[in-house]
Structure 1
Amino acid sequence: MNKAELIDAVAARTDSTKAQTAAMLDALMVTVQEALTKQDTVQLVGFGTFAVAERAGREGRNPATGKTITIPAKKVVKFKVGKAMADAVAGAKAGKAR
């Protein structure tokens, strides 16, 4: 599902226009990004938690040349799925296997 398909699905479920839904989705994404930029955690109970983590620097290899390179440390966004979401996905997969 891409962003346009998500907007269509949410608009249909909420009886909102696609323009209103797109504006709300854009506002949500900007708000989450701003919170993470401030090192805040964003927790949506039942869905999951977004948090910033520090990834340590490490040695890597250039696949084209085989030369060893240093990969610098950086901040990354981590997402931990919530229990309700994990259970729903696990149940959906189990249902399809039958």
Structure 2
Amino acid sequence: MEQFFLMCKPDELRTIIREELSSLTKNKAKPEFKQNDDYLDINMASDFLKLSPHTLRRKAQKSEIPCYKRNNKWLFLRKELIDYVNKGKQLTYDNL
């Protein structure tokens, strides 16, 4: 490990640290929700899946269903719920 000494005033050092921290936080990618995606809350998703909100919340807590938790609220992406239902679909004679 290399050691070096920086000869500057404390105010200059603070300025350098602030600038570096600022550049690091600006470059950090944050996950963004797309405006055109259709997110459902727990009640809307339970109506969509024909499950009780209690059952849906339990499945979300166990990571059995695709979901997101933002600001202490469960969110479900409609497209992911459709994929979840289709993945669990069983083959019947009507589907042959």
If each structure's strand is expressed as a fraction of its own residues, which one has the higher value? 1
Shorter-chain-normalised TM-score: which range?
under 0.3
Structure 2 length-normalised TM: 0.24
Structure 1 length-normalised TM: 0.23
Q: Which has the higher contact order (CA 8 A, sep 6+)?
A: 2
Bigger Rg, structure 1 or 2:
2
